Amino acid sequence: MTFNNGVEMPAFGLGVFQSSKEDTAAAVRTALEAGYGLIDTAAGYQNEAEVGKGIRDSSVARSEIFITTKLRTRDFGYESALRAFDASLTELGVDVVDLYLLHWPVPRIFENTVASWRACERFLAEGRARAIGVCNFTPAQLSTLMEQTEVVPALNQIELHPFFVQADHSETHRKLGIVTQAWSPIGGIQRYRGDGSAERDPLRHPVIAELARKYGKTPAQVVLRWQLDLGHSPIPKSINPQRILENADIFDFALLPEEVAAVSALDTGHRGGPDPNTHGPT
């Protein structure tokens, strides 16, 4: 995928949210050596150092790896963002990150969100971040940010899966030239916080199960392919080597337009994660 500043990002990557320090380095190395080009971490995940180790332990050159990390909200503010960015580079063991994101908007003190974005603009101008973006911003929050700053975000990373499609967000991003990236892309957030029923698990829905049978794929592969067919960048999380390989085996088929629409029609409108309109510092 090509950002609005011309920087290219692999469309598919590995997320390491909730990956333990003990498991992260091995998962990153496995993913990179399996052909993943993108690794997504965050200061708030407390595993940046392990991501850096996995990168160094792999046989893949740094120039072939796209690294994303994020500024946690407790470090919002111009000066504090400068310090936090330096700390992330140190933890990762790199001089440049490919993409630096604001992890959440903070609506009740949005001036700190704006100040943090201005720090990101500085990192971009200095060449220490090749691109900058945001996570979990609503269309209204994007508009407010852009009214007060200079650089249009390259990407917005949001909760997005068959049970929470957020089509209005994707359409806003398309109009603004912003890449849509999906966290919890197969709906894991619904399973983790649900009651274990099929109604909370996209992978057990009959529509997806039938497509999996048709294409000889797993339900997870069908959902990840759906993300790509919609033009989204999915970053599934796993520490299981077999699952890491399986998740990436989605480039030998594509869903028909009516099948993409059928999966999108599963949208319930119910998010599994925090609400960006009420989220506070963490």
Catalytic position from the list 45, 78, 100, 192: 45
Query: How many residues comprise the chain?
Result: 282
Distance CA 182, CA 187 (A): 10
Specify whether the CB–CB gap between 54 and 244 falls below 8 A: no
Residues ≥6 apart with Cβ < 8 Å to 182: 157, 158, 159, 160, 161, 227, 232, 233, 234, 235
Quickly tell me which residue has 């691109």 as its tokens: 131
How far apart, in whole angstroms, are the C-alpha atoms of residue 190 and residue 278? Answer: 19
Please tell me the distance from the alpha carbon of residue 160 to that of residue 157, in angstroms, as a whole number. 9
Whether residue 45 lies in the annotated active site: yes
Residue of 159, 29, 196, 9 whose CA lies nearest to 97: 9
CA distance 135 to 103: 5
> In 3D, which of 225, 238, 237, 216 has the Cα closest to residue 264?
225
Pair of tokens at residue 55:
């990168």
Q: 100: part of which helix (H) or strand (E)?
A: strand 99-102
Q: Which residues pair with 99 in a beta bridge?
A: 68
With beta carbons less than 8 A apart as the criterion, state whether 276 and 137 touch: yes
> Where in the sequence numbering do the catalytic residues fall?
45
